[in-house]
A = this chain, B = another copy of it.
Amino acid sequence: MVTYRLDIAYDGSRFYGYAKQPNVRTVQGELEAALSPHTGGVETYVGGRTDKGVHASGQVVSFTCDKLDVAQVLRSLNSLLAPEIAARRLTEAPDGFHARFSATGRAYRYRINNSVVHDPFLAATTWTLGEHLDVDAMNDAVRPLVGEHDFAAFCRKQEGRSTERVVFWTRWRRSTDVVEFSIGASGFCHQLVRSIVGLSVEVGRGRVSAEAVPHIVSSEHRHRSAGAAPPHGLTLVAVVYGAELLPRPSWVPAEHS
């Protein structure tokens, strides 16, 4: 038996999230169906489970089965899963490799189209928001999140799961109308990125002060100002393993990581 690592990307718009569920179209459901002629049916594991509407450009999946003809399986997956899911790489992984439990870091991106008028070509992957956003204030808001914290104030509570995580970097930038967020961390509890985005936007609009953020974090209770931003602006960019370096965008200064 061989353990495989499969790197995929998907447009989450028309899926009910990554995780398999009965009677709805999910990324995992489509992927396992496309794999089954080659593997006889396997359980797959995923690096970063994404919610309904969330996208991934650098998702990682693992599974164990008899030795595969890797090139043939990749071609078959791409012909079955196009255009919404792309299978980018299929490689043999060390025994014991697990896409979720072996991961040492994840990076996400969130994009806002900060414009009164939506853009048809960005609509599927950005949150359209007309009010002007103060990006400097948003950076002041997210800077204190770097380091080790209990993120209970930002996460949907999941019984028996810790909400402690190490954040490596957080950064907002503006490129004309597009306001973009990048975050890298050891991992993310449920809705953590979208809650940080929601709170950042409250700060960017001037409704919450950036100085309040450390108090919100330390309260460790889900905070009303940290409502989740819409899912379709969010993309899982990378999951890394072992000594792999989590890819930090070139526009995120090193002093913030």
Contacts and interface: CB of A to CB of B under 8 A. Distances in A.
A86 B88 CA distance: 33
A180 interface: no
Interface stretch (A32-40, A118-126, A214-222): A118-126
A85 interface: yes
Contact of A117 (B10, B84, B87): B87
Contacts of A85: 120
B118 A82 contact: yes
Contacts of A160: none
A202 interface: no
A76 to B, nearest CB: 13
B118 A86 contact: yes
A119 B82 CA distance: 9
Nearest to A75: B116
A186 interface: no
A117 to B, nearest CB: 5
B120 A9 contact: yes
Contact of A9 (B11, B74, B78, B121): B121
A251 B82 CA distance: 31
Contacts of A171: none
A83 B123 CA distance: 6
A135 B194 CA distance: 42
B55 A121 contact: yes
A57 interface: yes
A57 B120 CA distance: 9
Interface in A93-138: 117-121, 123-125, 128
A59 to B, nearest CB: 11
Nearest to A57: B121
A18 to B, nearest CB: 14
Given A78-B118, A117-B78, A118-B78, A123 B84 contact: yes
Nearest to A119: B86
Nearest to A74: B117
Given A82-B123, A86-B119, A121-B125, 13 more contacts: A9-B119, A9-B121, A10-B120, A74-B117, A78-B118, A83-B118, A83-B120, A84-B123, A85-B120, A86-B117, A86-B120, A87-B117, A88-B117
Closest 4 CB pairs of A and B: A83-B123, A11-B120, A82-B118, A86-B117
18 contacts: A9-B119, A9-B120, A9-B121, A10-B120, A11-B120, A11-B121, A55-B120, A74-B117, A78-B118, A82-B118, A83-B123, A83-B124, A84-B120, A84-B123, A85-B120, A86-B118, A88-B117, A121-B125
